[in-house]
Amino acid sequence: MHWMPDPSAGSWLRDRLDDPWNSSMHSVVPHGYPAYARILHPAIVRSLPDRPVPTFDDWDRMPGPEQQRLMELFVDEPTTWAETARAFGTVLHPLAQWQRVVRTPMDEDWQTRIAPDGREFSAPADGALAPETVAAIATHLRATTATPDDGVAALWEGFGGLLGHLGHTPSRAFLTPVDDPNHRAMLDRSVHDPFNNVFRRKTWQEGILSREISEGPRFRTRDRAYVLFSAGASEFADADWVLRAPWRDLPGEQHGFPPSAQSPSILWPEDRAWVLVSEIDYDSTVVAGSAELVAALCADTALEAFAISEGAELHGDSDEVNR
């Protein structure tokens, strides 16, 4: 895998997209493929063994030490949309939308909802897949292209800390303990001092990617910009692809975080037999390709996937079943 400074490799895909205001998925997913699969991103369920989750009022009345003991008993686990629908008494179907599945009332937060059985369900991540999920998908992708070792991976330029920039504030802040309150106050003033920042000389603020890549050309659709890397589906067929990715988060590792790398926003092979799109505002990934590929993805028990039709709408109001 290496950086592609020539963004023209994505021109064919841009030509198959609709305008951003179009309500169908084709503002981000290309037209023209025989079949499409929607792969739902896993959610998180939090449960308290042998005890119901306390209400917000009960929680507020608890002493601090009791809250701490209770927090240590919470268990967070990945969960499926099917399990979520069962918990809320809703219907899982190919165009289901999370906020409808968890019965979110108008103008209320749908990111975290408590089911009637007391479990707390947190929404899936937008625009990102776990390395293991990427590997499960890539196993099918590499089997349905004549060029499994050659292709393009596109990363949205806006992911936090990915690109460096010329400015006054770091590309990303890592929290470190500061015991001295005077020192902490001084740091806060230096970061949030707009008057002095105007006169301070801008310096290069490092990101995950090099300055050459950060300042290099982008592949642009009508409302997104991406950094391109050469990468075939075979590169992603095991979860260790994170360790090989040129965009591996090495600065994060230096601050004690485990190895990680953002999953591709778009991935396609040299022969364009399929396209994978993890749109940054979607809680599901769409794969466009052959009917055989879509059938294999939907049959994989490691994934929660549905076949959807060309022109499908995946916005928040498209779930008419669970209204």
- For residue 46, how far is the Cα from the chain centroid? 20
Give the mean model confidence (pLDDT) for residues 217-227. 92
Give the tokens for residue 33. Answer: 């493929």
Whether 315 shows a pLDDT value over 50: the answer reads: yes
- Distance in angstroms (rounded) separating the CA atoms of residues 142 and 162: 27
Q: Which pair of tokens denotes residue 227? A: 């950094």
Alpha-helix residue ranges (DSSP H) falling in the chain: 11-14, 56-61, 64-71, 81-88, 98-101, 131-142, 181-191, 194-199, 211-214, 241-244, 250-254, 291-299
In this prediction, residue 296 carries a pLDDT of 97
Hey, what are 61's tokens? 């009345």
- pLDDT, residue 52, reads 63
Q: How far apart are the first and last CA of the chain?
A: 45
Task: With a cut of 70, say whether residue 185 has pLDDT above it.
Answer: no
pTM here is: 0.84
Mean pLDDT, the chain, integer: 87
Residue range 1-52, pLDDT digits in tens: 999 999 999 999 999 999 878 789 999 999 999 999 999 999 999 876 666 6
Pick from 6-15, 66-75, 108-117, 299-308: least confident: 66-75
More confidently predicted of 230 and 172:
230
**How much is the pLDDT for 28?**
93
Tokens of 206: 């490092």
User: Residue for token digits 């669970």?
Assistant: 322
Reported as a pLDDT band with limits 50, 70 and 90, residue 178 is very low
